[in-house]
Each structure stands twice: as C-alpha cells, then as structure tokens.
C-alpha cells in the first residue's frame, strides 16, 4: 500500500505541470492500469522526467541519429503502471502492442528531439518510441521495428 501511495504521489508530481494545461497542449494520453486510471500529459510535464540521449540508426532514416527524451520505464513507473502489455497509438491511427518486458530489458526511450531539434508533427513528432537497435543484436529483428511508433499520442497499459 505504501509503495502504491508513493507511486500516486510521484504521478501527481509528474503530471502537476500538465494538469492545468489546455486540451490543445496535451501530447500524450496514458490510460489503463495506472494509478489514477488516466493521465493527460503536455510537453512540459514529460520534459520533467529524467532526460536521456540515445544514438542509433533507424529503418526509416539514413545514418545514425541522436534522440533525446525519457525512458519509457521511467514514465510507466511514475504513473504506477501495472500490466504486461502497452498498446501504443499514433496520430496517424497506427496501433501496436508492446510487451512491458521490452522497457525493462532495453533502454527504450520516448524521444521528443532528434539531432537536437524538437520532433514536429509533420515529421515523426511530437513523440517517437525509439529502441536502442544499434546496441543490441536482438533489436535487429523486424518484430522490434514495428514497435517504433512515431507521432505517438496514446498509451494504454493492460
């Protein structure tokens, strides 16, 4: 119970900056098996998470790029996520199921910058799930490529 209360406090602290944001400012909805059942987060709230940078190649861009964002597991932990699966949805209606185990096994990030520039809606933004594919041979498998969700807008924890 104490651990769940601590997660709830952490979640409220995380979304505190986004709680007063207008609906147009929300860039990520998280629902399902999380402490409060739903979280609506703006860019400012997401940027309060510990920032990480990852250099990797992608199957949809040329060369290696630098991605900046936060670890998916940090977000899910702060929101008290309990489950085995995350359903990630994009603005373009792309939907994919991602096992929660990916986020503990690999340093999967949700990027909001690429090569130092904010990701824009018309080019993979505002958020992009990025796997450290160059750091793990296992991530060269096409099954992982489908889990790179650009224009990420919603997560549902199951």
SS (H, E, C) the chain: CHHHHHHHHHHHHHHHHHHCCCHHHEEEEEEECCCCCEEEEEHHHHCCCCEEEEEEECCCCCCEEEEEEEEHHHHHHHCCCCCCEEEEEECCCCEEEEECHHHHHCCCEEEEEECCEECECCEECCCEEECCHHHCHHHHCHHHHCCCCECEEEEEEC
Whether residue 21 has pLDDT greater than 80: no
Q: Which domains does the chain have, with CATH numbers?
A: 2-157 (3.90.420.10)
Whether residue 60 has pLDDT greater than 80: yes
Confidence of residue 7 (pLDDT cuts 50, 70, 90): very low
Query: What is the predicted pLDDT for the residue at 24?
Result: 60
Question: What is the pTM for the complete model shown?
Answer: 0.85
């Amino acid at each position: 119970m104490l651990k769940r209360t601590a997660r709830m406090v952490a979640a409220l602290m995380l979304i505190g900056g986004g709680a007063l944001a207008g609906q147009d400012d929300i860039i990520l909805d998280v629902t399902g098996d999380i402490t409060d059942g739903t979280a609506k987060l703006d860019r400012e709230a997401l940027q309060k998470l510990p920032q990480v940078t990852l250099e990797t190649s992608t199957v949809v861009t040329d060369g290696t790029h630098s991605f900046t964002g936060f670890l998916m597991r940090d977000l899910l932990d702060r929101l008290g996520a309990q489950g085995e699966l995350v359903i990630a949805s994009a603005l373009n209606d792309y939907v994919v199921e991602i096992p929660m185990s990916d986020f503990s096994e690999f340093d999967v990030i949700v990027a909001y910058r690429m090569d130092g520039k904010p990701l824009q809606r018309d080019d993979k933004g505002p958020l992009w799930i990025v796997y450290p594919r160059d750091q793990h041979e296992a991530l060269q498998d096409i099954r992982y490529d489908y889990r790179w969700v650009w224009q990420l807008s919603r997560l549902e924890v199951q």
